[in-house]
Structures are given as structure tokens and as C-alpha cells.
Structure 1
Amino acid sequence: MPKPGFPSESIGPNEGRVSRRALLGTGWCGFLLSIVGPAVANIRFLFPNVVYEGPTLLKVGRPEDYAPGTIAFLEEQRLFIIRDPEGFRALSAICTHLRCTTGPFVPPDAEWKAPHSRCPCHGSVFAKDGRVLQGPAPRPLDFYRVSLAPDGRLVVDTATVVGKGDVLKV
């Protein structure tokens, strides 16, 4: 007759226990994972995620390609070529807030009395001299050095930030 509170069948000596072989197998798997995980992280460290920037010297056409008094928007190069009576200027089209590409300059309207460029991301508005007309951009747009290549084309150096008074006279 079985004792109260105990099952009627007896449990064998090895039932419910983990075998030595299973324990060693699990231990080895854990050990190998503890080695492989950090090894993968170390190997990944050797190959960082690098964003390669394009060339800093951009040939943007000949002076006669730009009519006097115009602001040309070069979306691929993310810049504006401004040709006014003084000469040529290159203005960055990269918003100083979060580096979005601003839109082309549009004519004056009811809100803004001068040509302006609006950033589509957060609404910053810039004047053609780079000034911030409306935030959240923290500073004006950059002007880049413009020069004339030996082949007669305009070259913009996006690595050299200059003042808005730096003009290429042709």
C-alpha cells in the first residue's frame, strides 16, 4: 500500500537527472558562445562604419552657363552658384540645423520680401547672403571658395569656407 502524499510508482535512480554527457555538452556550448561573442565584436571593430565623403573640388560649369543676376541650385552638389554684378559666389545648400538639403531660392512673396531658400526638414529660411531669416538653424549657410580652372570652368572648393565677401570676378 502506498504511503499518503507519495506517488505509487517509484522513480528510478536516473530519472529527472541530467546526464554527465549532457552537462558537459551544455557547458562546452556556453564556453564557446562566451568566446565567439566577444570575438565577433572585436572583428567588427576592425571594420568601422565609415561614411566616405565625395570630392571637395567640384567643377560646376563655365561662367557663361550662369546668367547675370541668377542663383543656380545644384542639388546633387548641395550648393548654390550666385552670379551677381560683383562676380561668382558658392553658397552651401546644407542647412546648419540638421544638415538637410535646403530647397532652391524662390522669389519674394507676402511673407519674405527677398529671395529665400527654405529647409524642408524643420522650416529654417535663409537669405541669399546665407543669413538665417527663420530658425531653428543656429548659424548662417557657409560660402565656399570659387576659382577658375585652367580649362575655363568654375571650381568650387567645399573644404574651404570663406566669407560672403569672397567673390570670383570674371
Structure 2
Amino acid sequence: MNTDTAVQWDLVYRPRRMPRIAVAAAAVVLAIHITFAALLTISDTGVHVGGADQFGLALIGLVEAAAILLFTQPRLRVGPAGVGVRNLVGERVFEWDRVYGLTYPDKGLAARLLLPADEHVPVLAVQAWDSDRAVAAMTGFRELEERYRPSR
């Protein structure tokens, strides 16, 4: 299914807490790597550390920070075309005839989109951390599900 901007979405939900934590964690990881890269030449340990080693350590920190920033991406979109779920990388759109509901497991971190044959897809956008906002997203999803999903 096409996920471009021509598709209308009635509900677009993004988590609030997880992206903030991810940005802070990425900044800390990057700062630590850059600091250690800079401090490698201060001490005389008998090991030869060159500029390439320092650059490599900083680059590793940059890659790790970029990976952590993937946690800013989750999103749930609901509309007449179906349900769009973007977790860390890429978005999958499920048409309404394949959607059996959205549930929140008792001991889970995130909601699950229920599919045929007892399959499910985690929806990282809807998390317990966001408390009332997550409840509102679940309620909004269920209202739109009643409107758009064909009766079985």
C-alpha cells in the first residue's frame, strides 16, 4: 500500500517520552565517545594512539548515537486506507481487512496490532510511559476501527 502524503490519516500518534529519552541518551553516548577520544593522548600509557584511533572512537560514538536516535521514529497512523505502523525503520500499512484490533498486553512495553492467524505487530508508538496520551490513542484507534473496518 502507498504511504505517501496523498493518503489521509484521521489519527497520527507519536510517543512523547521515548523520543526525549532517546535524544538525551544519544547526546550522552556521543559526548562520552568524543571526550574519551580527546583524552586518549593526554596519558602516556606506552600504547601508541594516533589521530586515526581518536577519529575512529568518535565515529563509533556517532554511529551509536544515530542508532539510538532511531527510537525517535515510531508512529501510528489510522485512516480509511488502513493502519500505518512505523517502528524503528520503515513503515508498514495494513489494510482494514487484515486488522483484527489493537491490544495492550498486561506486561508489555508497547501495544500490538492484531493480524490474522494469531500474528501481531508491535506498535512502539503506543507505550505505557505516555499513560493518558496512550489511552487516548487506543480509544481513538478503536473509534476509527469501528468506522472503517469491514464487519466480519
TM-score, length of structure 2 as denominator length? 0.26
